[in-house]
Amino acid sequence: MHIPDGFLEPKILVSTDIISLAVVFLGLKKLKNIDVNRIPLMGVLASFVFVLQILAFPVIGGTSVHLEGVVLTAILLGPFSSSLIVFCVLLMQALLFQHGGILSLGANFLNIGIIGSFLGYYFWKIKPTKIFASFATFITILISATLCSFELYLSNRLVLSVGLPTMLFSHLVVGIIEAVFVYGVLSFIEKLEPQILKFEKI
């Protein structure tokens, strides 16, 4: 769920924006002296994530679901690279398709980018297998749905007893679909082009 502008209270907006900016600057600092060869790779993978988020699958009731691909990039490139990629993808989504907003970009980046990249990556790091990767995907999606509803709740926009179950239930479906996809894609790559899994993880 990408929160649009206008739905969050100023205190939530400002605090999430500050957290997100801090992570972005930390990431930029980490990636300052990377190999030039890595930049086109990150760029094209960012484009891949962007396309992935546009391919929406219709589910029951006229709503549609799209994959996030955050944990997948985190596993391929490492948490800082992946979080910067997701930041750019979310910014593009907000600018070009109006999914999410400009000032609420911080909140969305915290929910999707930071949680997905860092939590997903370090969870997968415990035991780097495909099963753990899809499990990490599932968990991070549920955590980001919870965070999203708490942000709305703290802005007095949502009653937790109604909002949290709705969000969790809808993201349960998303989480299962995405977990299956991550497992499938990883095993497909492992078979065909295993060197993709061997990049330096920053």
Which secondary-structure segment (H or E) carries 57? strand 56-58
Query: Is there binding between residue 102 and another protein (CB under 8 A)?
Result: yes
Among positions 51, 56, 59, 131, the unique one binding another protein when judged by CB under 8 A:
51
State the nearest-atom distance from the C-beta of 149 to another protein, in Å.
9
Q: Among positive and negative, which fits the CA dihedral 31, 66, 156, 162?
A: negative
Nearer to another protein, 28 or 129 (CB): 28
Which positions from 110 to 149 touch another protein by CB under 8 A, shown as an x/- string? ----------------------------------------
58 phi and psi, to 5 degrees? -70, 135
- Whole-number CA gyration radius for the chain: 16
- Binding residue for another protein, selected from 23, 84, 110, 179, defined by CB under 8 A: 84
Integer Cα distance of 70 and 112 in angstroms: 8
The CA distance from 26 to 3, in Å, is: 24
Are the C-beta atoms of residues 106 and 18 closer than 8 Å to each other? yes
> Which residue from 24, 77, 133, 136 is in contact with another protein, where contact means CB under 8 A?
24
Instruction: Give the Cα separation of 169 and 175 in Å (integer).
Output: 10
* Positions that interact with another protein (CB under 8 A): 1, 3-8, 10, 13-14, 24, 28, 31, 36-37, 39-48, 50-52, 54-55, 63, 67, 72, 84-85, 87-89, 91-92, 94-99, 101-104, 152, 157-159, 161-163, 166-167, 180-181, 184-185, 188-189, 192-193, 196
